[in-house]
Structure 1
Amino acid sequence: MTYKYIIIDGNSQSSMSLQTHVSTLGDFYFSGYVNNAAQGLNLILEESPDVVFLGTNLTDSNTESNFTLVNELYKYMVVLPKIIIISNTKEVAYEAMKYDVYDFLLKPFQRIDIIKTLLKFKKEKSFSSLLNQVNFSQAENSQPFLNNTKISNSIPLVEEKKHNFIENGIENEVTKVDFQFDTQEIKNELIDIVKQSLDSKPILVQPEQIIEQKNNILCVKSYGDYRFIEFDDIVYLKADNNSTDVMLSSGDSITAFKTLKYFESSLPNDFVRIHNSHIINIKYVSRIHLGNSDCYLNKGKIKLPFSKSYKDNINTIIELYASNDAKED
C-alpha cells in the first residue's frame, strides 16, 4: 500500500533532504511542497494526504500561528492526516503536543528517526486495515466490539484465509480475514474475539437518547483526556495564548487547547465576552462597576476587568438584570 505525504516548510533544502530519506522506504508518495501556511491548508484539502510534515519556519507566519493550521483543518475535515512537526529546536516539541500532532522530528534530520516514525505509522495503518477487513457470517451481530479490545502488536502479512469453528454444534465461518499473522497466538486472539461477538450483541445508546444532556455539556479535550462540564458549573473562561483556562465554581480550572474565539462562537447565550481575555457566565455576575471597568463574579469573590470594546456587552447584562427587577415590581 502506498501512502501520500506533503511537506509544508520554509526551507526548501531541508524539504529535499526529508524527501530523500522518506523515498528510501518505498511506500510513501510525495504529493507536494509549499513554504507557507495559507498554501499549506489548500494543499492538504486538495490532496488529502496521509501524512503532513509541518515546519515551524513558514514564510507567512510565526511558530505559534503555524499550529493554528491544525485547528483550521478541523473546520473542513472529519479525519485529519497525521501531522509530524519538523523544527530546528526541541523547545517547539512541547507546544506541538498541545495540538495532538502525531510526532516531532528535529533538524538536521537523522534517517533512523524518520524511519522509526514512518514504520510506526505503517504498523498502525496495517492493524487498522486488519480490523476493517474482518467480516462476520452473522452480519447482524457484527458490532464494533474490536475498538476497545487489546490485541498483540505483531505486524500482519497479507494472505487470504478463512477460519471455521464449531459452537454449540453449529459450524460458523469467519470469512475474508485477509491477513496471515506472525504468531499462532495472535491468530487465536482474533478468533476468540470473533466468537465472543457472536455470543452477545451489545446494547448501544442511540444519539437521540442523550441529545438533551449533550446540549447542557461542554466537552473539553486535553491530550487523550475528555472532560464533560455542565455549563452551569463554568464561572468564566480565560485566554492563555492558544489555549483557554475554564474556571469552575468549585475553584478548579481546566485547560482546553482551543482559542477563546472558538468558545465565543460555540457557547450558549449565557456566556458573554467582556474582554480580549475573558468570557463570563452571566449567571455568576454579582456586581458591575462602570467607573472602574470591573465585573464581579461568584458573589464578589472574583473581579475581572472589562474593556471599552466590549462595553455594549456589559450594558446588555445590566439591562437584562434591570428588566428582571422591573418585572418583579
Structure 2
Amino acid sequence: MQNRYSIIDGSKSTINKIHKFFENTVNFVCVGSSDCYNKSLDTILEFTPDIVFIDVDYSEGCSSNAFSFVNELYKYVSELPNIVALSTSKDKAYDCMKNNFFDYILKPVDDFELRKSIARLKLKPKQASNKLCLKSYKDYRFIEMDEILFLKADNTSTDFFMSDGNTISAYKTLKFFEGILPENFTRIHNSYIVNQNYVSRIHFGKSKCTIKQNSFAIPFSKTYKENVIILEKSISKNALLTLN
C-alpha cells in the first residue's frame, strides 16, 4: 500500500522540488498540490493523505492561514494526517509545535531534510484506517474496506461490489485504487481487484476466482497470474490443507 502526500504551497518551485524528491522515493504517491485551502481540504477529505506539506508563511486572504486550516480539518477528520510545516524562518516553529505539527522544514527545501522527515514518519506507529472515501462531485461516501467484495473497472470509473449487495461507483480508475488499497486486495485481471478475505475458491484450470457472497466467478488473466499464485499462497497458509 502506497503512502499518500499532498502539498499546500504558493511556490511552484517548492512544489516541484518535493515532487522530484518523491519520484525517487519508493511507495509514495502525490494526491494533490495547490495554493487553495478549499481545494486542499477537498483533496484531504477525498484521499486521506498520510502526510501534508503546508507553507505556514502563506495566507489566503486576511483570515485564512495554515493554522486556521488545520483547525478546520478537526471538524471533518477524527485523526489528522502528519502535517509538515514549510517556512523561510523558524519564527512559527513554536506555533506549529502547539498545533501538533509532525515536522518543520526550512525553505529552500532540500532532500536531506525531506529524507529525515520521511524516516521519522516510517518509525511512527501507523494505525491503518479501515474506511475509504469515495467522492462524487460534492458527495462524500465513506465505506468500510472489509465490506468490499471486489472492484470492477468501468472505463474511467470503478464499481465497488459490497457485501450487503450494493454496488457503488467511484470516478477513479482501477489502477488508482490498486495503489491505495491494503495488501489483502489483489489485482487479478485488467478489470478486477478482489478482496482475498472473500475468496472461497481459485480454479487455475478455468482461470477463475470465486467470491463467497453470491458466488461471483471472477476471471483472472495470464498477465496477473503471478498475483493469483501469491494470493493462493497467502490464503493457503492460514487454512488446513487437504490434498486429493
TM-score by length of 1: 0.39
Whole-angstrom distance in 2 between the partners of 1:319 and 1:246:
25
CA drift of 1:207 comes to: 2.7
Residue number in structure 1 paired with 2:96 = none
The answer to whether the 8 A contact 1:237-1:247 is kept is yes
The answer to whether the 8 A contact 1:286-1:299 is kept is no
Give me the identity figure in percent.
Answer: 41
Residue number in structure 1 paired with 2:30 = 75
Residue number in structure 2 paired with 1:165 = none
Whole-angstrom distance in 2 between the partners of 1:218 and 1:288:
27
2:185 is the counterpart of 1:278: no
Whole-angstrom distance in 1 between the partners of 2:78 and 2:235:
40
**Where does structure 1 lack aligned partners over 5 or more consecutive residues?**
1-44, 49-73, 82-127, 134-141, 148-201
2:229 is the counterpart of 1:303: no
Distance 1:300 1:316, change over 3 A: farther
Distance 1:285 1:205, change over 3 A: closer
Specify which structure has the higher proportion of helix: 1
1:316 partner letter: I
Whole-angstrom distance in 1 between the partners of 2:140 and 2:156:
18
Distance 1:260 1:143, change over 3 A: closer
Deviation per CA, 1:128-177, whole angstroms, max 9, x where unpaired? 736549xxxxxxxx967xx7xxxxxxxxxxxxxxxxxxxxxxxxxxxxxx
1:258 partner letter: K
Specify which structure has the higher proportion of strand: 2
Q: Could you say which structure has the greater relative contact order, defined with CA pairs below 8 angstroms and 6 or more residues apart?
A: 2
Distance 1:77 1:289, change over 3 A: closer
The number of aligned residues is 151
Deviation per CA, 1:27-63, whole angstroms, max 9, x where unpaired? xxxxxxxxxxxxxxxxxx67x9xxxxxxxxxxxxxxx
Residue number in structure 2 paired with 1:292 = 206
Secondary structure in structure 2 of the residue aligned to 1:286: strand
Whole-angstrom distance in 2 between the partners of 1:259 and 1:327:
36
Distance 1:76 1:240, change over 3 A: closer
2:80 partner letter: P
Residue number in structure 2 paired with 1:244 = 158
CA drift of 1:320 comes to: 2.2
CA drift of 1:79 comes to: 2.1
Distance 1:80 1:273, change over 3 A: farther
Distance 1:249 1:327, change over 3 A: same
2:80 is the counterpart of 1:207: yes
Distance 1:261 1:205, change over 3 A: closer
Distance 1:130 1:283, change over 3 A: same
Secondary structure in structure 1 of the residue aligned to 2:237: helix
TM-score by length of 2: 0.51
The answer to whether the 8 A contact 1:235-1:249 is kept is yes
Whole-angstrom distance in 2 between the partners of 1:278 and 1:223:
24
The answer to whether the 8 A contact 1:286-1:300 is kept is no
Matching residue within 138, 142, 159 for 1:224: 138
The answer to whether the 8 A contact 2:149-2:198 is kept is yes
**Bigger Rg over Cα:** 1
Residue number in structure 1 paired with 2:167 = 253
Residue number in structure 2 paired with 1:319 = 233
